[in-house]
Structure 1
Amino acid sequence: MSGDQQPDEREARIESLSAITLATRDMDRAVRFYEALGFRMLYGGVNEAFTSFALGSSGSSYLNLTSETHSPIQFWGRVIIYVSDVDAFYRKALAQGIEPQFAPRDAPWNERYFHLTDPDGHELSFARPL
């Protein structure tokens, strides 16, 4: 796009990095570690498969933990990117020949999201708060 062109307002746009999700073999140990550092838990806990902590004073970024019981850990983590319209971004990925892991869905942690995997195996999640 040249400097004088305006973006199409109907096009789905990337807006910000929302969170990074890290795999753990021991949720209890990991939650206690992050709590000891002063991370504020928003969702999940020591007995859950998924836990989310607020980062920073604005609370608009997150560190998530997900249980991974396979040895060795095959899952490095996940980058979560906020977009202007999850469903439109999903259609954009499909139109480019990129096959997401699943269609957009609403999550109990109040986001609409879908995942896809980049050519090197890194998982990307595209999301928007509900």
Structure 2
Amino acid sequence: MTHERMQGSNDDAHAESLSAITLATHDMPRAVRFYEALGFRIVHGGANDAFTSFALGSSFLNLTSETHGPIQFWGRVIIYVSDVDAFYRKALAQGIEPQFTPRDAPWNERYFHLTDPDGHELSFARLL
């Protein structure tokens, strides 16, 4: 499909912006101290939580606690899309198997995850 045709389609789901990056850590208190020292503002979680989110302009830097063995999970890129369900169907139509069907999250987003060929986790989301 050409770029012009994709742009001309009114119902074509497309990526809009980068919402957040989530990084794994073995030591949440140390990681929180590091990002706070850089002036990042906590908007969710904290040193004693398994998940912490810092405001980063209109985006977020998230930390997730991984406590078992070496960090195999590097993190997750969260990409806002125009329509989560349509983007999910688009992935399926291209033979890409997401990890789960779109769902509503308690943090007020609809989202689904998939893994790229190199093992990087991508989350496609939209605010509810």
Aligned: 1:47 with 2:48: yes
**Residues in 1 aligned to 2:5 and 2:86: alpha-carbon distance in whole angstroms:** 25
> Would you say the 8 A contact 1:43–1:109 is kept in 2?
no
The farther-off stretch of 14-23 and 2-11 is 2-11
- Distance in structure 1 (CA, Å) of the matches to 2:3 and 2:105: 38
Q: Aligned equivalents of 1:30 and 1:116: distance in 2?
A: 26
Which residue number corresponds to residue 100 of structure 2? 102
1:84 aligns with 2:82: yes
Partner SS for 2:61: strand
Counterpart of 1:66 in structure 2 is: 64
RMSD: 1.6
2:92 partner SS: helix
Match of 1:111 in 2: 109
Question: Sequence identity, in percent?
Answer: 82
Cα shift at 1:22: 0.4
Match of 1:28 in 2: 29
Counterpart position of 2:10: 9
Give distance in 2, aligned partners of 1:5 and 1:67: 39
CA displacement at 1:7 relative to structure 2: 2.3
Cα distance in 2 for partners of 1:106, 1:81 equals: 15
Task: Output the amino acid matched with 2:104.
Answer: D
**Equivalences, count:** 127
Does 2-11 or 119-128 show the bigger shift? Answer: 2-11
For structure 1, the 5+ residue unaligned runs are none
Counterpart code for 2:29: D
Cα distance in 2, alignment partners of residues 127 and 55 from structure 1: 18
The one-letter code matched in structure 1 to 2:72 is Q
How far is the alpha carbon of 1:65 from its aligned partner? Answer: 0.5
Q: Which runs of 4+ in 1 moved over 6 A?
A: none
Which consecutive residues of structure 2, in runs of 5 or more, have no partner in the other structure? none
